[in-house]
Amino acid sequence: MPPGTPRPVDNLDDDDYPAYTMGRAAEMLGTTPAFLRALGEHRLITPLRSQGGHRRYSRYQLRIAARARELVDQGTPIEAACRIIILEDQLEEAQRINERLRAESRQTQSKSSA
């Protein structure tokens, strides 16, 4: 293998590696390929494409799709479910950034008071 090329086993631990075909992903989620296509149309997940043009999903994308499925199963329209998940993700990211900035601020304050 050329230097810098990930070993195949490294991909097993990679949440972003597009390991699952649409059929397998739908089977794992207990849904239909049409549901996965709809999630793509609403820009919740964007599967990678194989060289042959087939959709491939990562474990991370399957977790997002599973959350969407939960909301839809509870009666939430798919458009709303996708928007809810996007907003939840944005909120989580904002909270991470806020916590990092607070930690940096505490470090700066402790250095200046020392």
Surface-to-core class of residue 37, CB atoms within 10 Å of its CB (0-12 exposed, 13-18 middle, 19+ buried) = middle
pLDDT tens per residue, range 29-50: 999 999 999 999 999 999 999 8
User: Which two three-digit tokens encode residue 12?
Assistant: 């097993």
DSSP code, position 7: P
Q: What pLDDT does 110 receive?
A: 82
- d(CA 28, CA 45) in angstroms, rounded, equals 16
pLDDT tens per residue, range 67-113: 999 999 999 999 999 999 999 999 999 999 999 999 999 888 887 77
User: Which two three-digit tokens encode residue 95?
Assistant: 């909270």
- The full length of the chain comes to 114
- d(CA 85, CA 65) in angstroms, rounded, equals 10
Q: What pLDDT does 90 receive?
A: 96
Residue 63: band (very low, low, confident or very high) from pLDDT cuts 50, 70, 90: very high
